[in-house]
A = this chain, B = another copy of it.
Amino acid sequence: MEAINNLNYANLQPKEIREKIRAEQITWNTSGMCAGYAQANLVILPKAQAYDFLLFAQRNPKSCPLLEVSDPGSRSLKYIAQDADIARDIPKYRVYKDGILEGEFTDVAAFWNDELVSFLIGCSFSFESALLEAGVPVRHIEEGRNVPMYITNIPCVPAGIFSGNMVVSMRPIPHSLVVKAVTVTASMPRVHGAPVHIGDPASIGIKDISRPEFGDAVTINDGEVPVFWCCGVTPQSVVMNSKPKFVITHAPGHMFITDIKNVDLKD
């Protein structure tokens, strides 16, 4: 049996990959697929909760940068992907009822109804590719790990039923490249934008930098500064905190591949 190597999928077009995902020929994580194209986080909520979530995103744009919000009940998208079926074009979904995981599915068409609204949210994959192009190292990629993520003491601005503290991702950056890391990511507000914090982890409530709440710890070398960015886990986490009656998300790492190039997410 051949090992799966996503590099084999780096040069395919987003539409081709989405078709393979829809046909369940691809059921694994999308990391590295369709080089240069933005991937998106997904949250699907009934319209009754969608207003509060849209308001949460408006009030917390760095944590929850919306790339597209579908029309209620629609399974297609209009702006970030053509001919997409949001109920089938992600390799693995998670369905929650009353805050409890119902299961993981490769297709959620069976759960669909006319009230569901899909929120596609920008993802740090896009700015990491910009950092690498600018010569800024991205440690967890170098070390083949997941990015380390931490729960901070920074409250998100609440909106209706949704509230909670900000979750941040951390990348150790050499002193001489910190300013470049800020300016490169600041130019991409639709994928979390500039860092929220540079340096001292304790001042944002992180007790032990070697023990992230999500993802993996990474090496911080002498002469490097931990730099913290808003993270797409925040909206997922505040949605789960509210124990909604029904929600569908992507499974971690199993993203929606858009037709938008990362460079087009620059201001």
Chain A residues with CB under 8 Å of chain B are: 47, 50-51, 54-55, 57-59, 66, 69, 71, 78-79, 157, 160, 186, 189, 267
Contact = CB atoms under 8 A, between A and B. Distances in A.
B186 A267 contact: yes
17 contacts: A47-B51, A50-B51, A51-B54, A54-B54, A54-B58, A55-B69, A57-B58, A58-B58, A58-B66, A58-B69, A59-B69, A59-B79, A78-B157, A79-B157, A186-B267, A189-B189, A189-B267
A190 B40 CA distance: 24
Nearest to A190: B61
Interface of chain A: mostly helix, strand, loop or mixed: helix
Contacts of A157: 78-79
A252 to B, nearest CB: 25
A157 B186 CA distance: 26
Nearest to A66: B58
Contacts of A189: 189, 267
A184 to B, nearest CB: 14
Contact of A51 (B51, B79, B186): B51
A186 B186 CA distance: 13
A28 to B, nearest CB: 31
Q: Shortest 3 CB-CB distances between A and B: which pairs? A: A51-B51, A54-B54, A58-B66
